[in-house]
Structure 1
Amino acid sequence: MTDLIPSPRTLDVTPGSFEFTPRGTVSGPADLVDPVRVALAVLDLDRDGMARAGAETAPEAPVSVERDRNLGPEAYAVSVTPEAVRIAAGGPAGALYAGQTLRQLLPAAAFRASALPGVRWSIPCGRVEDAPRYAWRGAHLDVSRHFMPKREVLRLVDLLAAHKLNRLHLHLADDQGWRVESRAYPLLHEVGSHRARTTTARSRGETSFDDSPHGGHYSLDDLTEIAAYARARAVTVVPEIDVPGHASAILAAYPRFGADPAERHEVLDRWGISPAILAPLPATIAFLETVFAEVTEALGATPYFHIGGDECVLDAWAASPVIDGHRRALGLATPGDLHAWFLRRLADTLAAQGSRAVVWDEAFVSGMLREDTIVMPWRGVEVGRRAAAAGHDIVATPVFPLYFDYAEAASAEEPLAIGDAVTIEDVAAFEPAPASWSPEEAGRVLGAQFQLWTERIPDGRALDYRAWPRGCAAAQVAWSGGAGGFHAALPAHLARLDAFGVEYRPPAGPLPWQRGGTGARGHRPGAVPVSRVMRRLEEMTHEADSTRPSLG
C-alpha cells in the first residue's frame, strides 16, 4: 500500500489480503459501479442486478460501492478485509479513483489489456481515505504541430485516469495545422489540416526541411467519441482554438478573416511565432462563434473552452485603416486594448454557450477580461500571482517545470528537445501555490497542468518518452501535494507502466533506441537552459508591451 502514485491522504495497513475473483460482481448504484468496473477492466467484473435497478445502498457482496454524500465528488474511502472490499464515494469520479487505487494494489499485470493466466488477484487489507488537493489536474496535448491520431488521444485519456488526472487540454489549432472538422467552414479541415513539409532545423537560421507532407484532423464524431470516452474516466476535455494570433492555418483556408483580406497564407511549415492574425471585426467573431458552437456541440457539456490569446503580433491591426477605425469606434486606446476586447467578446459568447473561457497569461495583462476567465500563467509563478491578485482563477502551467518538451537531462544521449532540462525531481518539487502567496492568492489556484508541445514530439512513442514518468510526478503534485513518498513508490509504479506498454524515459537515462543519436533527432549542442528561458520570460511579464511575441 505504500507504492501508490499519487499517494493518498490517509493509509492504514492491517494483516491479511483480499482476493478478487475475475468475472465476479460489484454491487451498488449503477453510476458508481460502472466507474469501478472501468478502472478494474482487466478483472471483467459484472454489475450486480440491484445496481442495474439503481439501488442507492450497496447490498452485501464481496465488492460493493455506496454513495457517501459527506464526501466531495472526487473523494473516496476504501476498506479492505479478507472477506470484502467496501468503497464509499462522493460521486462517479470518486468511485473511479477508488477503483484506480485498487488497481494499483493489485499485481502490475492489472495494467495489461487482458488478464494473464496464473496471476493471483489479491490486494492487502487496510483502509484508504483520499481526496484531491486541487480540482484541476491536467495535461495539455498539442496536436497542431504534430497530429496525434485518435487512438493516441484515447490512450492518453486512459493514462491520465490511471494517475487521477482529470483534464485533457487539446490544442486543436495553431499556425502549423487546424485539427477538427467544420461542417460550416469545411476549408478549415480540407485546407488547414495539412502542410507540405516540416522544418527539421535544430536552431535559428537553419533552413532544412523534411519534404514529406504532414496532416490530419478529427471529425466532429471523433470529438464526440473522445469526450464520451473521457467522461467515463472522469476526464474533462478542454478544447483550445488559439486566437487571434497563431492563425496561419485558419487564414490559409479563409483569408477573408485576416487583417489584410488580400494577403494569402499557407499552413506554416516551421516553428516559432507568425505575424498571421485574425481581424477583430464582427465577421470574424461570427465565424468563430459558429466554429466554437460546432466544437461544443460535438463534445457535449463543455465547461471550459481555451481561446489562447498568446504571442500576438498586433502590427497588422495598427496598419489596417479598417481595424484601426473599428478600434476608435469602440473607444479603445491601443491595439492591445482591442486585443483584450476581442477576447472578452469571445468569452461572452462562450458563456452564453455554457463554457468558461480560458486564456494564456498574456491575455489578462490589460485587465479587461471577464472576471470568470481562467488564466494559465505559462511565463512563471510571478505572473500567475498577478493574475490571482487581479481576481482570476489560475491553473499553474509554468515552463519550468511543467513544459515537458524540455529534455529530462542536459545529456548528449537525449533526443532533440526545445532546451535543457526539466527533471522528474524538478516536477515533484513544484508548488502550484507558493508559501509566499497570500491566502486569497493561493485560493485562486485551481490546480496544475503539464504541457506537451509537439514541435519535437512527432509520434506516440516520443509522446510516451516525454510525458512519463514526469507526468506521474505532476499527478503527485496536483493530487497529493509535495513529493512525500513519491520517489520510493516510483520503481513499483514503473512496473505498472511497463505492463501498460508505456515507453517512458527510464530514470537512469534513455534506452539505446530512445537516444537522439547524431541525426535530425540528435541532442542539440548548447541547447538553451530552461533557467535562462525563465529569466527572460520573467522580465517580459514586466515589460509594457506584453502583447509582443515572447518566444521565437
Structure 2
Amino acid sequence: MIPRPELFSRLSGSFELSAGATVSGDLVDAVRLALPGLDLRPGDAGEIDVRRDPAIGEEAYRLTTGSRGVEIVAGGRAGAFYAAQTLHQLLPPASYRFAERTSWPVPGARIEDAPRFSWRGLHLDVARHFFPTREVLRLIDLMALHKLNRLHLHLVDDQGWRVESRAYPLLHEVSSHRPRTVVSHYREPVVYDEVPHGGYYTLDDLAEIGAYARSRCVTVVPEIDVPGHASAILAAYPAFGATGEPYEVLDRWGISPAILSPLPPTVEFLTTIFDEVIGALGGTPYVHIGGDEVVLDHWAGSAEITAYRESLGLSSVNDLQAWFLRRLADALAERGARAVVWDEAFVSGGLREDTVVMPWRGMGVGRRAAAAGHDVVATPVFPLYFDYAESSSPDEPMAIGDAITLADVAAFRPAPEDWSDAERARVLGAQAQLWSERVPDARTLDYRMWPRACALAEVAWSGTGQDGFAGRLEEHLGRLDALGVEYRPLAGPHPWQRRRPHRPSTVRVTDVMARIEAMTHDPESTRPSV
C-alpha cells in the first residue's frame, strides 16, 4: 500500500465485495465516492459499515476486513474517504478499471492509520503551459488515491494569466495567450516554436474544480503571484504597473523586470481578483500571493512610489515589498483565508504572523521561518522540484536540470530531526512542485509527476519513506497502469517518452541548492538581475 498505513495486521478470513454492495452508517457518501467502480448503495445494514468517532482526528481511521465484511471507524469525512481508498488498495489492481466483473476478494486485515502532516501537496504550474479542466480533475483523482490533499494552482506568471475575471475582462481576453513558446534547452540560444499557446479557466470551471476537489478531500490553493512576474497582468492593464509602460505576455522563460505598482489602486485591483477567485472556488482557507523573484528597480526609480514609501515611514523598497504583501495578507484574512508566500517574502520581513512560508530555496531558510513563528510547508528544489530530470541521461525528456530521483524523494524528511521540537511543530507538511516550462502536455505531466509523487505521498503521510517502499511501489504501479497513468518506468523512459532529449548537466542540483540557500541570508537576494 502507498502510503503505507501506520499499523497493518493480516487477519484470517476474507470475503467477496460485490458490485452493488450496501454501505451503512455514517459518512456513506465518502466511501461510495472512493470506490466508484463498485456502484455501492446506501442501506440500513450493509457489507460495509461506517461509524464516526471524532476522538481519533478528522483524517484518521480504523479499517477491519474479514468474513463478516468491512468495518470502518473514521474521525470525519476525510478519514472515511481515506479508509475506503485503503480498502480499494486491498483489492487487485484490475479493480481500478471499468469492467463487467461483479465482485473482488477482500483479504482479512486490521489497519489503523492517521497522517503525520496536514499539508500533503502537489503544485501545478498552469501559467507556463495551460492544462484544461479535465486534466486538473484527473490529477485530483490521482491525488485522492494517494491521500494527497492540497492542490496548489499557479494561475499567473509572466507567460500567461489563467482565470476569467468579470471585473477585469482583459485579463482573460488579452493575457491568457502568447504568440509562441521557447523550445530550446536551458541556458542555450533561444529557439521558438512559433505556435500560439493559451487558455484559461472560466469562473464556472474554477467552481467545478473547487467542488470536485472538496468532494475528494482536496483543498485548492490558488496562486496569484505578485508583485513580480507581472508581464501578463500588465499586458492587459499597464496602469497597474510601476511605470505605466506597455508590456506583452512574455514569450520566454526566466525572470522579468515587470512589477506591479504598490499604490492603493493596485491593492484594490488585487482584492477584487481575490474576491472573484475565492468566490468561484466556494471558499478556500489559503491563497498564495507569491512574493518571489521580484525585481524592485522600477519601484526604486519611481518618484511617485518613492514618495508613497516615504509617506508610510518605510526606509527601503524591500520594506515596501513587505508592506505590500502584508496589506494583501490583511485583505485575505478579512475574507477568511491565510496568505501563503515563497521564502523571499519571509527574508524581506514584515509578514503577518499567520502567513505560511514555502521555503523553495532550502530547508535552512525554512527553519528560520519556523523559528520566527511561521508555519512552513517544505518545498525545497532538492528533492521536490519535479521539473528536474530523474536521471543524468540523454534518454530523459528535456528538463531544466538533473537529477532528482525517486529515491531522493523517498529519503526526504519534511521536519528534520536536528530541528527543535518547536521548529518541527511548525512544519505543516510537504509539497512537490511541477513547473511547466518544459511540461507542454498531459503526457509529460504524467511522466514528470509519477511515480515520484507516490514517494512524496508516503513521506507527507508518514513523515518519512517507510521500509519496503520500493517493493510496494512495484505492485502499486499496476494500479497506475489500470488508471492509464503514463508514468516514468523505474528502468527509464519508453522510446516514445524520449521526446526532445535532455542534455545532462555537469552541475549537480545539490550544488545549486547550496548556492541558493546561501542567498537566503541576504535580503538583497530578493532583487535578482534579469
TM range (shorter): over 0.9
Q: Name the structure 2 match of 1:194.
A: 177
Q: Find the partner of 1:33 among 16, 19, 28.
A: 28
Q: Find the partner of 2:510 among 516, 528, 531.
A: 531
Q: Name the structure 1 match of 2:416.
A: 434
Q: Alignment partner of 1:6: what SS?
A: coil
Contact 2:348–2:523 (CA under 8 A) maintained in structure 1 = no
Separation in 2, partners of 1:118, 1:387: 53
Give deviations 1:13-60, integer Å, cap 9, x for gaps: 01221211101211112xx11111111101011122xxxxxxxxxx54
Report the residue type matching 1:346 in the other structure: L
Contact 2:19–2:103 (CA under 8 A) maintained in structure 1 = no
Superposition pairs for residues 120-199 of structure 1, below 5 Å? 120-199=103-182
Q: Alignment partner of 1:121: what SS?
A: strand
Separation in 1, partners of 2:294, 2:464: 36
Contact 2:357–2:377 (CA under 8 A) maintained in structure 1 = yes
Contact 2:18–2:102 (CA under 8 A) maintained in structure 1 = no
Where in structure 1 are there 5+ consecutive unaligned residues? 49-58
Contact 2:186–2:400 (CA under 8 A) maintained in structure 1 = no
Query: How far did 1:69 drift?
Result: 1.8
Q: Name the structure 1 match of 2:63.
A: 78
Q: How many residues align?
A: 529
Q: Name the structure 2 match of 1:62.
A: 47
Q: Name the structure 2 match of 1:56.
A: none
Separation in 2, partners of 1:16, 1:94: 24
Contact 1:170–1:238 (CA under 8 A) maintained in structure 2 = yes
Q: Find the partner of 2:524 among 529, 542, 545.
A: 545
Separation in 2, partners of 1:483, 1:161: 19
Query: How far did 1:253 drift?
Result: 0.2
Q: Provide TM-score, normalisation by structure 2.
A: 0.98
Give deviations 1:219-247, integer Å, cap 9, x for gaps: 00000000000000000000000000000
Separation in 1, partners of 2:331, 2:112: 41
Among the aligned pairs, what percent are the same residue? 66
Query: How far did 1:107 drift?
Result: 1.0
Query: How far did 1:542 drift?
Result: 1.6
Q: Find the partner of 2:349 among 357, 363, 367.
A: 367
Query: How far did 1:525 drift?
Result: 4.1
Q: Name the structure 1 match of 2:260.
A: 278
Report the residue type matching 1:17 in the other structure: S
Q: Name the structure 1 match of 2:6.
A: 9
Q: Alignment partner of 1:198: what SS?
A: coil
Separation in 1, partners of 2:327, 2:516: 28
Q: Alignment partner of 2:134: what SS?
A: helix
Matched, 1:495 2:495: no
Separation in 2, partners of 1:21, 1:207: 57
Separation in 2, partners of 1:435, 1:503: 35
Separation in 1, partners of 2:294, 2:417: 33
Query: How far did 1:496 drift?
Result: 0.2
What is the Cα-based RMSD across aligned positions, in Å? Answer: 1.1
Q: Quick check: 160-169 or 535-544, which moved more?
A: 535-544
Q: Provide TM-score, normalisation by structure 1.
A: 0.94
Cα distance change on mapping 1:383 and 1:164 into 2, 3 Å:
same
Q: Find the partner of 2:17 among 12, 16, 20.
A: 20
Q: Name the structure 2 match of 1:55.
A: none
Contact 2:299–2:317 (CA under 8 A) maintained in structure 1 = yes
Query: How far did 1:488 drift?
Result: 1.6
Q: Name the structure 2 match of 1:310.
A: 292
Report the residue type matching 2:4 in the other structure: S
Give deviations 1:328-347, integer Å, cap 9, x for gaps: 00000100000000000000
Q: Alignment partner of 1:237: what SS?
A: strand
Matched, 1:46 2:41: yes
Separation in 2, partners of 1:528, 1:265: 34
Q: Quick check: 150-159 or 480-489, which moved more?
A: 480-489
Give deviations 1:474-532, integer Å, cap 9, x for gaps: 0000001222221120111000000000000011000111113xxxx221243642112
Cα distance change on mapping 1:398 and 1:441 into 2, 3 Å:
same
Q: Find the partner of 1:296 among 260, 278, 291.
A: 278
Separation in 2, partners of 1:500, 1:241: 32
Q: Name the structure 2 match of 1:51.
A: none
Q: Find the partner of 1:227 among 199, 205, 210.
A: 210
Report the residue type matching 1:320 in the other structure: S
